[in-house]
Structure 1
Amino acid sequence: MKRNTAYLPLHDGKAPSYLFERMVKLSGVMTGLIVEEYGAEEMLRRLSDPWWFQAFGCVLGFDWHSSGLTTVCCGALKEAQRRYGDIGIYVAGGKGGQSRKTPLEIIEISDRLGIGSGEDLVRTSKLVAKVDSAALQDGFSLYHHCFFFTSSGSWCVIQQGMNEQSSYARRYHWLGETTKDFVCNPHAAIEDLRENQESFLEQSQAPGPCFPSRSSLLNMISPEAESSRQTCSLIAQENPQKTLNLISEIIEGPTLFAPSRHHLSASDFYPVKLKMLRKALIAAYEREPKDFQSLLETPLVGPATIRSLALIAELIFGVPLCRKDPLEDFSKRVGGRSWADYSFAHGGKDGIPFPINRNRYDRNIEILEKALRKAKIGYTEKKEALKRLAYISQGTSPPT
């Protein structure tokens, strides 16, 4: 599984209509050219690269380092696919309530195009969202989920979470091409797009934006969390009452509330949280999860349940939690061209590095549209030539 990450600050304001209309046209024609030249799977690979995606947004004219670049660029691609039909990839989901419509949109597109893997794609979409919200609890609440896929069933995901305290967003990129395991070390690379700065954990200790500290992190997708994952799934397979009885033997009272900090005490146990945990344990027990991924896919099992089970595993069975931020495993990209350089193509929404140059923008759209039309004509001619060669090799004449 290729999975990448980016941090971006929150900016106010939205793309003005004159700019969004141009973003739709340019994103559509650029996608069409990439698909025509390199194939739809290559477009998915590029979207899964946070550096490329950020540079793409800069070329489209959005704020060069704004969190809004994610939602607006994905929205432009989705609108381009809706307007122009075949741009080589299909887009479902979006921001806020639109993200919850992702499964319905995937099924609708799949049924219309005769894509047989629609149900599998829906399951993938839900699981990817569950991994970044429940299995990896890094202080960023997901509010955007965009699912890109092809007629052959290839896919990638761009989703984003917001940390309310710091007003920074964290963007997650997934590529299904190399999927091996959704819940263990799924990252091929993680990149922090802010250049020349402290790491995530250093930011949490420094003045300025308030990032979550290590004590609040829960990383259940690290290789170091293998024992914790196994123990959580084993606990979920036990009779829920047996699990609750184990808890009551350790502390006074049968109720459990699992806070974000590392250690538990009797003051952390409240009846209202026990009711929620009991429901989740019953749902997991009835599903009979064979492993952690199956547990994660269980309805009602969310961030609170996963954190609770992980803390129970540590408290009762001595299985340590993993609080390692996954960014620590990957070196920062250094040298080469900055993605911010691409904002000089047409300018930026807020006038940085300069106001949007509409004439240049429109001229570039026109140039690329002509190039795409020529590419498609060339492809048609090539296809017809190959058909004629096939008839000649078979000793038959092409139909008239």
Structure 2
Amino acid sequence: MKKSGRADLALMGGSIPPWLFSRMKQLALPMVEAIVIQNGKENFLARLSNPFWFQSFASVIGMDWNSSGATTAVMSALKQSLNPVSKELGLYVCGGKGKESLKTPNELVEIGYKTGLDGDAFAKASKLSAKVDNTALQDGFSLYLHSFIVSDEGQWSVIQQGMHTRNRKARRYHWHSENMESFVKEPHTAICGINEGNIINLVDKKAKPTQESIINITKEHPDKIIKELPHLLMPSYCDVKAKDIDIKRLGSILWLAQETQTTNFEDLLLLKGLGPRTLQSLTLVSEVINGTPSRFSDPARFAFAHGAKNAKPFPVPLDVYDETITTLKSAVETAKINRSDKLKAISKLSELAKNAEANFHPNNRFEDIVKKENEDSYKYNGRSLKGYSKEKNNQLGLFDTDLNNNN
């Protein structure tokens, strides 16, 4: 296994309103299913272990783009949406925040019973990864969240987060099992029962090099370990600023969303009927599903899919969010019955935007894009913690408060 990266985030409080979290779960599931259908379970676990992709995923489903709460929100949404279909999907999410994290080893052992994999090995890997980040590094961050995501083929990723009370920061750690053939060379022969998958055993004598490698990691000086990892450092302010965005990338997506209304993109015929604003969101979702690692260097850009609960950069456009969920769900369901044309069309969106980017010259300033999103928010049933968006000329202001309405 390897430690695959870390992210430092501002420690921010506040809960996620039910009207947003329910949509996060509804969008997270078909996004993961699309990744698995097109690229496999290992590809999803590899993406999850990338701190830049993780933050982009959080942003595209409507979480505040740089908040420490993004980790809790994403892992909770994944656990609640994936676990009910774990048998069909082949992915299991264990652990969580606080007391839930302590249940991880037992949950992994139970998964071992269900899949024929060595749950004890997973449990040990869970404890070791937590031990390294919580004790061996001695970096001032105390773990309060530990999630272990495992496939029925034996690969896994760990996402865990610690809190530094003095500097008001949170640090997220990412682990990835990589290629399980190097993790252990052959199935454990002493496990009895129905084998529904490859059996792995971290405590097998042939896994001794792996055990020694883990011990060596714990002996390394923290600075050396940290320098060798991809490091995502998030700002402490809540807003999205021009410097956080690759305006050329964002501009090409805005152009594509508008251009598809007037130009016949043969690859996108199955998406006809979607408005420009939904195509904008769907293109950003498509990039999170299909993009390569280099595409996630500016996670804030993905907030331009569905905004955020704090209305930064703009309120969540509920109508657009719901249409995005419906379109992606439909594409995934038809792909499951060997009709993948619609899912391929959605995947094509990110490719077209990337191709357009090469010779694209943005016409609009970042501030103009944010202004337009806020001015148009009422058209899409925009909502934030302050309430529903209203037309700007409303003398009461941009929002109509609805503190008693959480649906």
TM-score by length of structure 1 reads: 0.58
Distance between the aligned counterparts of 1:102 and 1:123, measured in 2? 10
Q: Does 1:90 align with 2:92?
A: yes
Deviation at 1:292, TM superposition (A): 8.6
Distance between the aligned counterparts of 1:161 and 1:141, measured in 2? 5
Provide the residue aligned with 1:275 in structure 2.
none
Provide the residue aligned with 1:44 in structure 2.
45
Distance between the aligned counterparts of 2:159 and 2:223, measured in 1? 23
Provide the residue aligned with 1:377 in structure 2.
337
Provide the residue aligned with 1:100 in structure 2.
102
Residues 210-241 of structure 1 show CA distances to partners (whole Å, capped at 9, x for unaligned) of xxxxxxxxxxxxxxxxxxxxxxxxxxxxxxxx
Unpaired runs of 5+ residues, structure 1, are 182-289, 297-305, 311-320, 381-400
Residue identity matched to 1:76: A
Residues 340-380 of structure 1 show CA distances to partners (whole Å, capped at 9, x for unaligned) of 00001011021111111111111001011111111110079
For the structure 1 residues 48 and 292, does the alpha-carbon distance in structure 2 shift closer, same or farther, using more than 3 Å as the test? closer
For the structure 1 residues 178 and 5, does the alpha-carbon distance in structure 2 shift closer, same or farther, using more than 3 Å as the test? farther
Distance between the aligned counterparts of 1:77 and 1:291, measured in 2? 33
Q: 2:27·2:61 contact (CA, 8 Å) conserved in 1? A: yes
Distance between the aligned counterparts of 2:229 and 2:128, measured in 1? 24
Q: Does 1:78 align with 2:79?
A: yes
Provide the residue aligned with 2:223 in structure 1.
324
Provide the residue aligned with 1:352 in structure 2.
312
Q: 1:31·1:88 contact (CA, 8 Å) conserved in 2? A: no
Q: Does 1:62 align with 2:63?
A: yes
Aligned ranges 1:247-258 → 2 under 5 Å:
none
Aligned ranges 1:168-317 → 2 under 5 Å:
168-178=169-179
Deviation at 1:43, TM superposition (A): 0.2
Distance between the aligned counterparts of 2:15 and 2:130, measured in 1? 25
Distance between the aligned counterparts of 1:167 and 1:325, measured in 2? 24
Q: 2:4·2:229 contact (CA, 8 Å) conserved in 1? A: no
Distance between the aligned counterparts of 1:368 and 1:376, measured in 2? 12
Q: 2:51·2:231 contact (CA, 8 Å) conserved in 1? A: no
Residue identity matched to 1:140: F
Deviation at 1:155, TM superposition (A): 0.4
Residues 142-180 of structure 1 show CA distances to partners (whole Å, capped at 9, x for unaligned) of 111000010011101000001010110011011101587
Residues 259-278 of structure 1 show CA distances to partners (whole Å, capped at 9, x for unaligned) of xxxxxxxxxxxxxxxxxxxx
Unpaired runs of 5+ residues, structure 2, are 184-210, 233-243, 247-294, 341-407
Provide the residue aligned with 2:121 in structure 1.
120
Deviation at 1:137, TM superposition (A): 1.1
Residues 275-294 of structure 1 show CA distances to partners (whole Å, capped at 9, x for unaligned) of xxxxxxxxxxxxxxx96956
For the structure 1 residues 132 and 347, does the alpha-carbon distance in structure 2 shift closer, same or farther, using more than 3 Å as the test? same
For the structure 1 residues 331 and 18, does the alpha-carbon distance in structure 2 shift closer, same or farther, using more than 3 Å as the test? closer
Distance between the aligned counterparts of 1:28 and 1:378, measured in 2? 19
For the structure 1 residues 327 and 348, does the alpha-carbon distance in structure 2 shift closer, same or farther, using more than 3 Å as the test? same
Provide the residue aligned with 1:139 in structure 2.
140
Provide the residue aligned with 2:29 in structure 1.
28
Q: CA RMSD in A?
A: 2.7
Q: Does 1:341 align with 2:301?
A: yes
For the structure 1 residues 379 and 129, does the alpha-carbon distance in structure 2 shift closer, same or farther, using more than 3 Å as the test? farther
Provide the residue aligned with 1:221 in structure 2.
none
TM-score by length of structure 2 reads: 0.57
